[in-house]
């Protein structure tokens, strides 16, 4: 992988990490279209797109949206750093 694009072995650790991440996260036809992490850990990864809010989460977010926090800039004048000559 590194020699194909002309990089030295300095990036070998990153290349191996990236390759193993891709292999573990992509589905495979040899294990019935599942990801290796699903087969090994016997879990189904959560798809962030399909996650919906529960009633508890929506009530918490509604309370936060209704409550407004009044913010006001501090009213002070910055000291001038200019030096006046007499």
- Please tell me the pTM assigned to this model: 0.37
- Residue 75 in domain: no
- Residue 53 in domain: no
CA atoms of 45 and 28, how far apart (whole Å) = 15
- Residue 60 in domain: no
- Residue 43 in domain: yes
CA atoms of 37 and 22, how far apart (whole Å) = 11
- Residue 32 in domain: yes
| Side-chain half-sphere CA neighbours of 10 within 13 A | 3
Summarised one tens digit per residue, pLDDT across range 17-28 is: 988 888 777 777
* Domain around 21: 2-48
The total of structural domains in the chain comes to: 1
pLDDT of residue 11: 80
- 48 within 8 A of 30, measured Cβ to Cβ: no
- Which three-class secondary structure state does DSSP give residue 6? coil
pLDDT over threshold 80, residue 77: no
């Amino acid at each position: 992988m590194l020699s194909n694009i002309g990089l030295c072995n300095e990036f070998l650790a990153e290349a191996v990490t990236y390759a193993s991440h891709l292999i573990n996260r992509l589905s495979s036809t040899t294990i019935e279209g599942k990801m290796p992490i699903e087969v090994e850990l016997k879990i189904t990864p959560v798809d962030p797109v399909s996650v919906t809010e529960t009633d508890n989460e929506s009530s918490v977010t509604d309370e936060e949206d209704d409550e407004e926090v009044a913010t006001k800039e501090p009213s002070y004048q910055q000291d001038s750093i200019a030096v006046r000559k007499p």
